[in-house]
Structure formats: C-alpha cells, structure tokens
Chains A and B, each alone.
Chain A
C-alpha cells in the first residue's frame, strides 16, 4: 500500500515547525506584547486581533488582525511571526502570505468563514498550522496541506482539560492504528474520512507526518509541563500570559518549564514567584453555542 510522502516544498514547511520544537509560541495583539514575548524566550509569536478570552467575553465576529498591526509586530521582533485566519477564508490567508508571515494558523478561535471547507493549504507557499480534537481531524488537515498540528483544547478558558483530552485521544488513536493489519486500513480510512496513504504512514511510523503541538487552555508552567509529557512537542499559550497578573514573569516561567518539562523541581522553581493565573472557566458552564472546539470539519 502506498505511504504518504512529503515532497520538497512540504519538507521546507515542516522544517520550520521542527525549529519551533521544545518552545513556547505566545499570542500577542500588539507590538509591545510581541517584544515582551521575545524577551521572555518565546520561539514565535501569534498575532491576533483579540486574545481568545476577550473574544469569548465580548462575542461578535472574530477576524484576521489588521495587516498594519501584523507588520508592526514583524518589524519589532526577530523570531517567527504567525497569524490567524478564519477557517476557509483563503483570501485572509492570501493576505497573510503576502505580508510575509512565517506560519498561518487556520484557527477555530476566529469565526469560521466557510461551514463546509477548509483552506487548500497545499497551494500556499507559507506553512499552515491547524487544530484538531482527534486523529481523523489531524489527518484531514494534513491532507489539505497543514505542516503542523496542534490540539484545539478550549481556547480562552484557562482550563487544560480539553487540551489533555485531545492530546490523549490523538496519541491513543495513533497506537491503535499501528496494531491494524494492512487489510483493515482502507475501511478504517473510510470510517475516519481520511486518505489511506496517511493512515499507512501512521501505521508504519507510529506518529503523525508533521509535528504535534498543544494549545487551548494552558495557563501555568505545570499545564505546559503536563502537555509536553503527554507528547506535545511545543506549546501555544494564548490568553494564559497576557490575561495573568504578571505577563512577563509568567512568560519566562512557562519557557523554563517547557525546556525542563521532565524536571518537576525546575517547574516548581519557575512557578514560585508568580502571581495569579488568568481566571479560569469550567467547561460545563459554557453555553453550548459558545464552545469553540466544534468549529472545523
């Protein structure tokens, strides 16, 4: 059976994702925040109009950031700059690519622009990252050309439980696929709604063909260490930093915790001096129509 192959252009995209491993990517809405993130040791920043907690609080349609703000951020920091576009909004993605952003996040955190289709990411020169809740969703996004996968979690809640569920689901489904016989793969692909060659890859290699990061609800250094130990190769921190009492110190502490995720003494030391984390949200208290992770097809 044919195995999924990464062509040359795809390898260049995945190459940048490889460089971001073992690091922290921080959500920022302004150039000053981007500078704080870079000085704290972030490996990249994610530009967005409003951080997820504010999108959740204020509602309305959440869109791509203003290009002027993205340019200011790109001029301010030397680390890679990512930016979010709405699901299926390929024109926003084109704008982001034209601006020269280093990674485009086709993100469920923004209001979806297409209720059926995602962006054809393989046709872009810029690499894309997409969220997932399970292996099938991850493989569909990779089939569309995503060079990096992250858990969705439940953004803007400061509650890690959904990110943990999504990471555990992906990991255990990968393990299950490795145990299947080749004769089971076609029907398995049909049931999951994914291409067979990607399932063959997962079965043979026991992992996704692109790096797998964590996002959605990380608020403390211990949250970050938890996700890394569950198999995340880096973490995205959204509201967790700039909604906390002490963004600079918290950003530094999470960077330290990710670099030493296997070492609880260091995670403890990094957490000691911190003030209050962002206020959290219990998932069951969120009205159903305000659950973000269900966006994506």
Chain B
C-alpha cells in the first residue's frame, strides 16, 4: 500500500491534488479516493487522544488504515515522564483499533548508538510491546547486524528509508526484521535542503520515474518477497509531490505485479 506522510496540506489545494477551495476538514475523505493508507503526523506534535482519533476515524473513509508517529516528547524532546507518556499514547492510539497499521518510532538524527540510547530504545520497545511498531533510525551507527537481529527477535519493523546520500545518515537498506510488515519512507533526495533544515526545502523533491522504477525492481521486490504486508509513504510533501510520486509508484508496482502475474 502506498500513501503519504500526512494528508492535511493546504499547499496540495494550490498544487491541484485537492480541488480548489478544499478545507482541511474535507481532506481525508478526498485523500481516500486515491490512497488506502496514511501516516499521521499530528501525533508527533501532540499526544494521541482517543476522542480526537475516534472523531477522525468516524469521518474517514472505511478502507483507510493508519500509521501514527510516536509523540516528540518521547523521541525527540524526551521528557522525564516519557514512560507515562508512552502509556498515555498507547491508550490514545488504541482508538484506531484494527485500523492501526503501525506506530512509527522516528528517532532524531543525533540519536546514535550509545549505551544509554540502546538502553532507552530497548525500554521504549518494551513499553510498546504488543503494538505494531516500526523504528526509523536517522543515524548511520544503527546499521549493524546486532541491531537488526534484536529488532527481529522483538518482531519490530526496521523502516527502510530513501533520503539524500549524505555521510552519517542511515543507509538505504532492504532488511526485513518483521515478516508481518515492511515499512518504507521516501523523504526525497534534496541534499541542499536537507542541510538547510527548512521543511519546505528539506522535503522539496520530485522522484523521477526511473528512480521509483529502480526501487520497484530492487528494494521493494526484495522486501515484499519476505513480508506479508508492506506500507510505503512519501514525505516529500512540498508542492504535492508526495501524492504524485506515491500514485506513480503505485502504478509501477501494479505494472510489475501484472507482468509477473
């Protein structure tokens, strides 16, 4: 399943993905006409609340499933009471029920593989036990077999990423640690923007058909052959490139499946 990281972008109205005059409240149902999965960004900015999610679910098209980011106060701006926050998050996100495809634990770029960080991650995964969890590393130091083995032991998905080829960033891999789910995030390959830090520049990238075709032939083929289910998100939201690229990849996958079928 392909989708995008977030769906509520006014910019996508200007760029033509949503019809002119679309308000935020109407976006999810329009999004559902093109996609069946979406990554919820808002749960990164604020704690997941069951009442809010239940209302969103009630208004969402019935076929859509969700991946939800873990709150920033647990991953990026860790607070002392993070353990209680994880419990609150579990309670809040529970409102999605069976439509929760994964909880995305996105770790910050400076989160390297130190002893204390390893202990934190192990404890965090303990607290999230029983939930469908996917971990996205940004720091290259985590790209080691022992980490993959531990994720595999815990049945936690390692997120495969496509991002600029810059030193220190987590590499592009097709490692499967959880046969129940593979998870891919396309961030774009805007090297200049990535260094700049401005979201509008960082995620301003339009994947070419050739680039997506390569993914389709190599990494995605490998990932899907070893997993029962996979979700793929495009995070290059600027100028609605994410939904365009997601639809393009979706058509390439369909073609490939058609060929092999």
Q: Are A and B co-members of a single complex? A: no
Using CB atoms and an 8 Å cutoff, list the residues of chain A in contact with chain B: none
